[in-house]
Structure 1
Amino acid sequence: MNTGTLQRNRQAAGNVPAPHRYEQLAELIVDTIDNGTLAPGERLPSVRAVSEQHGISISTVLQAYRLLEDRGVLVARPQSGFYVAATQGGTLALPSASRLRSKASTVSISGAVAALLEHASNPALVPLGCAVPDAALLRSHRLDLALARAARQHGDRHNVYGTPRGDPRLRREISRRAMRIGHALSPDDVVITNGCTEAFTLALSAVARPGDTIAVESPTYFGFLHTLEVLGLKVLELPTDPVEGIHIEAFARLLDAGPVAACLLSSSFSNPLGVSMPDARKRELLALLARHGVPLIEDDVYGDIHFARERPTPFIALDGGANTLYCSSFSKSLAPGYRVGWIAPGKYAQQVVDRKLAFSLCSPVLPQVALADFLASGAYDAHMRRLRRLLEENLRHLTRAIEASFPAETRVSRPAGGFALWVELPRGFDSRALFDAALELGICFAPGDVFSASRRFRNCLRLSAGWRWSERIEEGVRRLGQLAGRQHRS
């Protein structure tokens, strides 16, 4: 079927035709992938060949390919062409969009989070539970050498309290990297933190007070919920689509109904759903927040783990991002044990620095020095190219294992980055009961209810693909799927 036939069929069915030829071609390619004609990892015809076959311009074909690349459907390989993304699922539907919850909730989740993290750190369990990358995948030996060298050569110099803002060289290197995503950032705009958790904690405490309401996507990262609980903040859970992100129109109605102190979002490959909002939707959200004077706290910790050619653009780099507090870290991409994160708080800089002094005074100096050396050497970019390939392959293995082992009605996310999958089982399923049974078999995962302040998503779970794929992990997924199948039938 060519694009002309596709358009005629849409008209015959009474549907509105796609406004642009490249969108029609993109739709045709997706249909071809969904019906199995193009398999994951398979190379697409060349741009010139498609142009001649469909009678359209080369630029139109490129637009279609780039659109699908941005959506994570295709992957561009230099000097080779475009390929179907390896993580593309062929048999299971995407998770459902979450439903609107019109009232803010208090949070009581700390006990469940503490118990999950204790199990997730147990090396005796199959590690599907915690979204922390395996040291064997990170291979941070070169960074460790930089740390040892700094300690050996200038240990006395670095065994001191640093400034609250952090090491100047590291802040300079972070600022230089921000230029790659189209954001002009000065070293003075950056504050180094103890991981991204301290970064968004500082941000929340700078813009909100106990009893205030914070809007979050739903499902959302349980670490956000734990911090919101400790700070005495309420949570407004926003309906979220696995492709488009939060439902902006519903959010607008909620903002008209009552005050919101801030919006806290993971901007790239959100945890756990894996969604990256398209740039157009990001701009819509920024405009909405600007109209209501609501600051955005952006967690971009997964942004560097992208499988498409280009890194997703963070909110802070888009028009309208001036009222954004940007948070990130190296914990997911390089060195979780170093606990080095950062925040670019914009106009809230003084409030953030004051709270940094009160909470932790400063961050450890030596890890910052080592990271600055590592970044300046150019080694980080080579490291990330290798890590992205490994994690994309891991997600492909995990997706196939889920498709082969879980009930046929299962739905699964298809993120274009990161290393976690959101798995939705039929309504009425109890992932808490599955969690208890899985622990007895030596398997750990994250049950869905910890990703919601109102303890929704009981029929969902998050599985991590951050560890080197092995027979042990594959067998763990298979046994987990069998457990889910038995529970579903009972």
Structure 2
Amino acid sequence: MDADTTTHRYEQLADLIVRMIDNGTLAPGVRLPSVRAIGAQYGISISTVLQGYRLLEDRGILVARPQSGFYVAATQGGTLALPSTSRLRSKASTVSISGAVAALLEHASNSALVPLGCAVPDAALLRSHRLDLALARAARQHGAHYNVYGAPRGELRLRREIARRAMRIGHALSPDDVVITSGCTEAVTLALSSVAKPGDTIAVESPTYFGLLHTLEMLDLKALELPTDPTRGVHVDALARLLDTEPVAACMLSSSFSNPLGSLMPEAQKRELLALLARHAVPLIEDDVYGDIHFMRERPRPFIALDGGANTIYCSSFSKSLAPGYRIGWIAPGAFAQQVMDRKLAFSLCSPVLPQVALADYLASGAYDAHMRRLRRLLEENLLRLTRTIEASFPAGTRVSRPAGGFALWVELPKGFDSRALFDEALEHGICFAPGDVFSASRRFRNCLRLSAGSTWSERIDKGVRRLGELARTQRTEDRGTLAVK
């Protein structure tokens, strides 16, 4: 800072930051050092630094995130609007989606296609070699000992590590409160079958994860689709009106960064929802697989960690954050412990022992926290790149979500678009994505799609997204031409 100039120090700081952005030192989406750190580095007061940051925020150069800090704006200028809030469905829908889900997963697993369809981080991003070494070491040293049926609840050391991590977010768990499952899918299946019987209705977000819809179909449960805001989640008042008129066996929601919207319900709204469900004696099943993949200073707290969470069943896994191939999830069933254990014994008896032992060793070493810091940074950068590419290549009027965690974007094309037709055409060009209609029991969201940012960003992915935008623009032009002829 130049003390002799007539320019105010906060303006000098702002100019310095702008130069660093212009020359590429500070890339879009990067978090700036804290106000305290900058003040110490340049010998200026915290209020001066804050004044400089606020000046750049007013210019649209920086973006402030509550309880997180200041970030370089993803784009300099206007950004695409958020997707529309879904409409209320007053009646439950019978789910029939299994064929579409099976076909999508088949394409999503095809490595020859540009990987925008599967919401699982690729191996290059996860870099789970230390976990693999722990698995190899356990197999080499004690393989025969672990080649047995394990305890139905799962390995005690792993359950203890999970309970310790839960304490960090205010969720008081003991190891005996935890049951290890085959991923979050088994956890959700155990939870749903414990609180509902065939023909019952489950209230869900809209759009919601197609894997959940497939599970509802297999359990012969109906889905009641709730209006969902792209940033704040389910509308509690709409749920309140429905509970006064419709019988609901349970409510199934994401804890944080829902799939596919990426919405995060504010904590006050979570408490309001818990109080509402308690008044109607409706249990809540929460899916927290994305909670560790947050871009904020603090990890969001799940429903079960809040007052009123006693009637909540908590489900999560390490499939999105560390080891999709290990298929290790867990459930904290609370008041439904006996029902869950009865079904665990019937469905799978127990989970494989060796992967649990390896994961327990890995978590105890402290390696997971360092891994997550790196992974969160990479996935946030991927989302920003994906957003910028969409803004540059998709048709006018496109809307896109802005999640503060996870690694998927929900893209809403203008009315009249057909993402199912776009999906078929994209496959012919070697591109896979998830069409919007698989995220709804009533097969809504035909003009929407979900794009995954879970792969290492590359020229191939960049070109794939741009090509997808071109295909969408072409569809738009052809549709307008058809209307003109008619």
User: Please, what TM-score do these two structures have when normalized by structure 1?
Assistant: 0.86
CA RMSD of aligned residues (A): 2.0
Q: CA deviation at 1:428?
A: 1.2
Distance 1:115 1:324 in 2: 33
Alpha-carbon distance in 2 for matches of 1:467, 1:458 = 25
1:98 aligns with 2:97: no
Structure 1 residues 87 and 243: alpha-carbon distance in aligned structure 2, compared to 1, 3 A threshold: farther
Q: Does structure 1 residue 199 correspond to structure 2 residue 187?
A: yes
1:436 aligns with 2:424: yes
- Cα–Cα, structure 1 residues 162 and 87, in superposed 2: closer, same or farther, change >3 Å? farther
Q: In the aligned structure 2, how far is the partner of 1:67 from the partner of 1:54?
A: 9
Query: Deviation digits for residues 282-332 of structure 1, max 9, x if unmatched?
Result: 011001000000000000000000011110110000111111100000000
2:66 partner amino acid: E
Q: Tell me, in whole angstroms, the C-alpha distance in 1 between the residues paired with 2:48 and 2:243.
A: 49
Q: Shift of residue 44 of structure 1?
A: 8.8
Tell me if 1:119 matches 2:116: no
Q: Helix, strand or coil for the counterpart of 1:337?
A: helix
1:466 to 451, 454, 464: 454
Contact 1:89 1:414 in 2 (8 A): no
Contact 1:431 1:448 in 2 (8 A): yes
**2:437, 2:29 → 1: CA distance?**
32
How far 1:359 sits from its partner (Å)? 0.2
Q: CA deviation at 1:408?
A: 1.7
- Mean Cα displacement is larger for which, 212-221 or 82-91? 82-91
Residues 66-105 of structure 1 correspond to what in structure 2 (within 5 A)? 68-69=65-66, 75-76=68-69, 82-84=70-72, 86=74, 90-105=78-93
Amino acid at match of 1:118: E
Alpha-carbon distance in structure 1 between the residues aligned to 2:409 and 2:51: 38
1:258: Cα distance to partner? 1.6
Letter in 2 for 1:164: P
What is the rounded CA distance, in whole Å, between the counterparts of 1:161 and 1:242 in structure 2?
44
Contact 2:63 2:72 in 1 (8 A): no
Partner in structure 2 of residue 217 of structure 1: 205
Residues 182-227 of structure 1, C-alpha deviations (whole Å, 9 max, x = no match): 1110000000000000000000000000000000000000000000
Separation in 2 of the partners of 1:184 and 1:397?
A: 38
Percent of counterpart pairs with the same letter? 81
Task: Tell me by how many angstroms 1:41 deviates.
Answer: 3.5
Q: Distance in 1 between matches of 2:64 and 2:116?
A: 32
Q: 1:279 aligns with which of 251, 267, 274?
A: 267
**In structure 1, distance between residues paired with 2:468 and 2:315:** 34
| Residue matched to 2:328 | 340
- How far residue 69 of structure 1 moved from its aligned partner, in angstroms, is 2.7
How far, CA to CA, are the matches of 1:54 and 1:481 in structure 2?
35
Structure 2: which 5+ residue stretches go unaligned? 1-26, 36-45, 55-61, 479-486
Matches within 5 A, 1:362-441: 362-441=350-429
C-alpha displacement of 1:414: 0.4
TM-score normalised over the length of structure 2? 0.87
What does residue 251 of structure 1 align with?
A: 239
Q: Distance in 1 between matches of 2:77 and 2:383?
A: 10
Within-5 A mapping of 1:123-134: 123-134=111-122
CA distance in 2: counterparts of 1:257 and 1:328, whole angstroms: 31
Gapped regions of structure 1 (runs ≥ 5): 1-37, 56-64, 77-81
Contact 2:286 2:312 in 1 (8 A): yes
Q: Are 1:87 and 1:395, in contact at CA under 8 Å, matched by a contact in 2? A: no
Cα deviation, 1:434-484, whole Å, max 9, x if unaligned, reads: 000000000000000000000000000000000000000000000000000
The answer on whether the counterparts of 1:87 and 1:399 sit within 8 Å (CA) in structure 2 is no
Q: How many residues align?
A: 435
